[in-house]
Amino acid sequence: MSSVRITAWQDGEPAPPELLTAMKARRPNGELIGIDRVLLRSFPLATGWNELLRRVRADFSLPLEYRELIMLRVAVLNGADFEWGVHYPAYLQAGGTEEKCEAIKAQHVTSPLFNEKERALIALTDQSTRRVSVDANVILELTRLFGETGTVEAVATVAAYNMVSRFLVALAI
């Protein structure tokens, strides 16, 4: 975190105890990570961010393996190395493979390793991240494969992790 463009919050500095507890609850071993410490420079932001990302990570019905695949692809497309480092082990733990992790790094993903659902999620992620607008046929395919709830959750995951990666990259976290 030495190159971070904002001075990170340090243990012992003032912060709402309930916010610290909630943020630590989302992290392995209850340890705050770099992005948490930068977010703590704005308590309203940290509070909303933590709740949104907690729900995306824990409450969505879209399988975690698919959400983590989206997060990794967003990290690749936006050059968010920190995001990749956090989500790579989470993707593997959720059922992803190292081979798919390597394949997801391609400029245009065409690997036969990915199933129909994964290819549809990659198409969504690529279009939404690269150009914001998403072709209607991609949304129709997602709805066929995941239903309306799964489609909304997939789009929200792409949007949320684009927010994360843009924050990380802009502040060199």
**Pairwise CA distance, residues 73 & 77, whole Å:** 6
- 3: pLDDT strictly greater than 90: no
**What burial letters (b/e) apply to 63-92, b meaning 16+ CB within 10 Å?**
ebbbbbbbbbbbbbbbebebbbebbbebbe
Q: Which of 131, 78, 128, 122 is nearest to 96 (CA)?
A: 122
User: What residues does each domain of the chain span?
Assistant: 17-58, 64-170
Q: pLDDT tens digits, residue range 131-150?
A: 999 999 999 999 999 999 99
Q: pLDDT tens digits, residue range 48-95?
A: 999 999 999 999 999 999 999 999 999 999 999 999 999 999 999 999
Domain covering 64-170 in this structure, CATH number: 1.20.1290.10
Task: Please report, rounded to a whole number, the percentage of residues in the chain having pLDDT higher than 70.
Answer: 99
Tell me the whole-structure pTM to 2 decimals.
Answer: 0.95
Q: What's the whole-number average pLDDT of the chain?
A: 97
* 168 alpha-carbon distance from chain centroid: 11
**Pairwise CA distance, residues 5 & 45, whole Å:** 17
- 41: pLDDT strictly greater than 60: yes
| DSSP symbol at 28 | G
Q: How confident is the model at residue 2 (pLDDT cuts 50, 70, 90)?
A: low
**Pairwise CA distance, residues 170 & 173, whole Å:** 8
Q: Which two tokens stand for residue 25?
A: 């609850």
Q: pLDDT tens digits, residue range 97-117?
A: 999 999 999 999 999 999 999
Q: Which of 107, 117, 102, 104 is nearest to 147 (CA)?
A: 117
Q: Which two tokens stand for residue 33?
A: 């990570």
